[in-house]
Amino acid sequence: LGKVISDSNFEAEFLETHNAYRKQHGAPPLTINKNLCRSAQEWAEHLLSIRTLMHSNGEYGENVYYAWSSANKKLTVESWYSEIKDYNFSRPGFTSKTGHFTQVVWKDTNEVGVGLATDGNTTFVVGQYLPAGNISNAGYFERNVLPHDFVCGRNWFPKKQTSTK
């Protein structure tokens, strides 16, 4: 069976990495929610037991991460954030390629919980968020997923999308 990791350094680094990225997008810092941590931990342990990456479909936002080794905590959040390269700020909205990124920086989210389960070879990390992000109502993505350049004080204009055929 898997090993439960209860590590305040892991939790702190997970939170710190989220908040560093959120600051770049004008989103307020998250705080740790212990109930979400318990829920995320239970789900991480379940994922390890079935060795499958999937969402729990709870009433919160959720990001899941899988690695073949013990987790480098910063790489977990960095892998989610790296989806920014596929996000089109000139056409905001949800896509399966960018949902982890948009949840990390979602402005209206203010709490996070984290769980990690590993057997030494396989690691699952689960982040759960309240209020949930990735709400597809009109205007929600525009208000909650702000471009990095906009926040840095520069005028932001969407880059022209070019295609090569």
Provide the 3-class DSSP secondary structure of residue 21: helix
Phi, psi of 164 (to 5 degrees): -115, 125
Hey, CA dihedral for 89, 90, 94, 97, is it positive or negative?
negative
Phi, psi of 90 (to 5 degrees): -80, -10
pTM: 0.86
pLDDT in tens, 13-39: 999 999 999 999 999 999 999 999 999
What CATH number belongs to 3-151?
A: 3.40.33.10
In the prediction, which pLDDT does 69 show?
76
In the prediction, which pLDDT does 7 show?
65
The number of residues making up the chain comes to 165
Q: Over 70: is that where the pLDDT of 105 sits?
A: yes
Q: Percent of the chain beyond pLDDT 90?
A: 75
Asked if 30 and 116 count as a contact pair (C-beta separation under 8 A), the reply is no
In the prediction, which pLDDT does 3 show?
52
What average pLDDT does the segment 151-155 reach?
A: 46
In the prediction, which pLDDT does 165 show?
40
Asked if 37 and 113 count as a contact pair (C-beta separation under 8 A), the reply is yes
Domain boundaries, the chain: 3-151
Between residues 36 and 155, which one has the greater pLDDT? 36
